[in-house]
Amino acid sequence: MDYPMHIGGTRVTTSQPRPVELPYDGSEVAIVYQASTEHIDAAIAAAVAAAPVMGELTLDERSVILRKAHQKLLERREEMARAVASECGKPIREARLETERAAATLLFSSEEAHRLRGEVVPMDASPAGKGRWAMTIREPLGVIAAITPFNFPLNLAMHKIGPAIAAGNAVVHKPASTTPLSGILMAEIFADCGLPPGALNVITGSGGVVGDRLVFDPRVAMVTFTGSVEVGLRIRNLAGMKRVTLELGSNSAVIIEADADLEEAAQRTVAGGFAHSGQVCISVQRVYVQKSVREAFVERCVDLARKLTIGHPLEAGTEISSLITVGEAERVESWIGEAVGAGAKLVTGGTRRRATIEPAILTDVPPHVSLNCKEAFGPVIGINGYETLDEAIGLVNASEYGLQAGIYTRDIGKAFHAARRVHVGGFLINEVPQYRVDQMPYGGVKLSGTGREGPKYAVEEMTEPKLVCWKVS
């Protein structure tokens, strides 16, 4: 099936077709088209032309478009979920969940369009402000480049496109090369919902070519990026004066205190470490368990991990499917080997069949190995013991990343002691770090990025507060 690009309200194919493959077995699921530099220029030009049209839409007109897109997405939810599962290889039950969440992200964005406002500035708080009144109005930035990763190809794109529309901007969206289908389907949906032509352009092609041009082009006012640290840093360094938000990776950690509800903590750890085969930016990767309960906790996690059903992503019962490529699965396999070579114990899983890795649990993972200090982005959990809570907090903070972290304890004092000291963008009490609802502020510190998503927060990033001041007499 053909998936043309969307440029200026028109479907565009090129002389360079490229297959999109099901990661699980490599079978072809669709054809997309590689953008040339002319296509990228045309997409930016279309967005430049549409930006003033978007800026002139009333808040209610923007809100109505987003609400219609929310409804249309729900009407086409099964088709969309199958596209998501086919392009990124996640089990269909997770793809359905992602589709529901993407629809919710659009609804939250439509509500934010109604709430967009500036503030009154207390001018006469300065003696020189006597007789002056002032307010800020929030203006759209113009053209926003949205560059998205493979792991949540639909919802993470909606976290950029929804708020951009609510704020009155035009968008050029570049989805990941492996997962362009849901983004293209969304362009169709938005066109059916009355979004002006050129307000959402979707171009497909490699990050090095399309991404670099979008980041360099002076007509683009903002780059909103979700993806790896490596590419995020490159964008940051090349974007000059453009506004940039970066939602990057992590090696998220959770602390399990001895007084925790161990059964619930184990269930949530296994769910949070192995959903989408660990290819989630807040996947549970490092688990620190108080030594007196470590053995019981590991036993419970192993038992739960062994019950997970591995299979084809489009089969209803599948809980674990493949990683995005065979190369990524080989990398994860080699990191498990490195950890075991350095003294870690592989308690369960870790075997690879093509791009699929059996959920793996390791204990006694040395601090210097890749599985501990880098982002695994695979179905691997490392469980280590600790004596005191402050020791555990130190271990959580001994990371270059800081997206989300969590603690399980029944002691509210301990929970807030940790909440104050763990350096992350979001801290979860009695929940694993792999928890997100779409309206909450979401983003990281350290190498995990800059800026926050969640429609309310993204709308702030995507508008400029302009001061209007007048002298009364």
Site residues, ligand NAP (CB under 6 A):
147-152, 156, 174, 176-177, 206-208, 211-212, 215, 226-228, 231, 234-235, 247-249, 281, 375, 377, 403, 449
Residue 247 catalytic? yes
Between 151 and 318, name the residue whose CB sits nearer to ligand NAP.
151
Q: How far is the CB of 49 from ligand NAP (least distance, A)?
A: 23
Decide the pairing of beta strands 356-357 and 352-353. Answer: antiparallel
Between 150 and 408, name the residue whose CB sits nearer to ligand NAP.
150
Q: How far is the CB of 129 from ligand NAP (least distance, A)?
A: 41
Is residue 444 within 8 A of residue 248, CB to CB? The reply is yes
Q: How far is the CB of 327 from ligand NAP (least distance, A)?
A: 11
Annotated active-site residue in 98, 281, 333, 453:
281
Between 378 and 449, name the residue whose CB sits nearer to ligand NAP.
449
Between 152 and 288, name the residue whose CB sits nearer to ligand NAP.
152
The DSSP code sequence of 404-451 is EEEEE-S-HHHHHHHHHHS-SSEEEESS-SS---TTS-B--EETTEES
Q: How far is the CB of 212 from ligand NAP (least distance, A)?
A: 5
Our measurement of the distance from residue 280's CA atom to the centroid of its chain's CA atoms, rounded to an integer in Å, reads 8
Decide the pairing of beta strands 253-256 and 286-290. Answer: parallel
For helices 92-115 and 59-75, give the axis angle rounded to 10 degrees. Answer: 170
Secondary structure of residue 175 in the 3-state scheme: coil
Q: How far is the CB of 60 from ligand NAP (least distance, A)?
A: 30
Between 207 and 272, name the residue whose CB sits nearer to ligand NAP.
207
Element housing 304 (H / E): helix 291-306
Is residue 179 within 8 A of residue 122, CB to CB? The reply is no
Q: How many CB atoms lie within 10 A of CB 326?
A: 15
390: tokens are: 């402050």
Between 165 and 324, name the residue whose CB sits nearer to ligand NAP.
324
In angstroms, the CA 45 to CA 220 distance is 10
Residue 281 catalytic? yes
Annotated active-site residue in 94, 98, 112, 247:
247
Q: How far is the CB of 330 from ligand NAP (least distance, A)?
A: 15
Could you tell me if residue 430 is left (phi over 0), alpha (psi between -120 and 50 degrees) or otherwise beta?
Answer: left
Catalytic residue positions, numbered: 247, 281
